[in-house]
Amino acid sequence: MTPLYFLFGDINKNNIYIKRDDLLPISFGGNKARKAVNFFREIEQGGFDCVVTYGSSSSNHCRIVSNMAASRKLPCYIIAPKESSLPTFNSKMMELFDSHFTFVSVNEVHDTIERLLTTLKEEGKKPYFIAGGGHGNLGTQAYVDCYEEIKEYEHEYKIHFDSIFLASGTGTTQAGLICGQLINQDIRKIIGVSIARKNPRGKQVVLDSSYEYLESKGIQISKSLLDNEIIFVDDYIGLGYGMKSQNIDYTINSVLINFGIPMDSTYTAKAYTGMMRYIKENNIKGENILFIHTGGTPLFFDDLMRLENII
C-alpha cells in the first residue's frame, strides 16, 4: 500500500489529497511498477526466460520492466521508435540494465516485434511479451487493487473521496479504477486527465480496457452504461505528448517547493495542472478530492535540468 495523505485545502473549500504511487519500492515506482509486478509474477510462474516490450527512450514502463528483468537475470528486448530516441535519465538506466534495443520507425514497430518473438522462439527461448505501457488485463488489475487500497483508507479514516483525478495515457490505469468502482458499486467521479490522446479515441481505449477486464471476470455491463461512467478530459493536452508549457513548469516548481513532491511535465504535472483548472472551470466546491501520483520521477530530473527557466 502506498502513502495517501492530505495535501492542502483549496480556496473553494475543497480538500486535496494525494496518493503517492511514485513511492512504490521498485525502480522509482509509479503506475508502471504496480502493473509490472503482475506481469513478472506471470513470467515466473510460466517459466519464461526473456522479456520483450515496446516504448520510447523516456518510457517509465521500459525502465521498470528492464530493471525487473535485470534483477532476475532475464534478457530484456526493447523495441523503440527512433522518432523518440533522445537520451534521458530513463534511457541511461535502461542501458545500465543491459537492455537490448532495436530502434525502428513507428510504423515498423508491430512487424519488428513479431519478427523478434519468432526469432527468439526459433532459438529455443520462451519470450514473454508486455504491451507498451503495461496495457492489458493484468495492468488493469493493478489499479483494481489500487482502488481497494483507497477503499481501505476511506474506511480507516472515515472519509469519502468525491472525485479521483489521475494522468490518463494508455488507459489501463483509469480503467482499473473505474472497474474497481463498479465492482464496489461506489458513487464518485474518476476523472482521467489526458496527457496525449484526444477524444473520442482517448475515451474509447479506456472503455475498451474496462469492458475487456469486466468481461474476463464474468461481469456483464453494456458498453453504453460503461461509457457513462468514464470521464476522460482532453482539454489540457496543450501541444501534445511530452510538450511543456509555462503552466506545467509552474506546477513542477510550486509542488516541489511547497510539498517536496517531484512531478514531471509529461504526466503528473500536466495532470495536476489540468485537475486544478478543471476544479475552477467546473466550480467544484466542498469536495474531498484525491490525486493519484502515478510516478515518473526520472522524467522530473530531465525537467530539473532546465529548472532555472521555470517561473
Provide the residue count of the chain: 311
For residue 172, what are the CA distances in angstroms to 120, 153, 208? 28, 22, 9
Hunting for cell 509552474 — which residue is that? 250
Catalytic residues: 59
Strand order of the β-sheet with 50-54 is 100-104, 76-81, 50-54, 127-130
In this structure, the number of other CB atoms found within 10 A of the CB of residue 51 comes to 25
Question: Residue 178 corresponds to which amino acid?
Answer: I
- DSSP letter string, 192-238: EEESSPPTTHHHHHHHHHHHHHHHHTT----HHHHHHH-EEE-TT-T
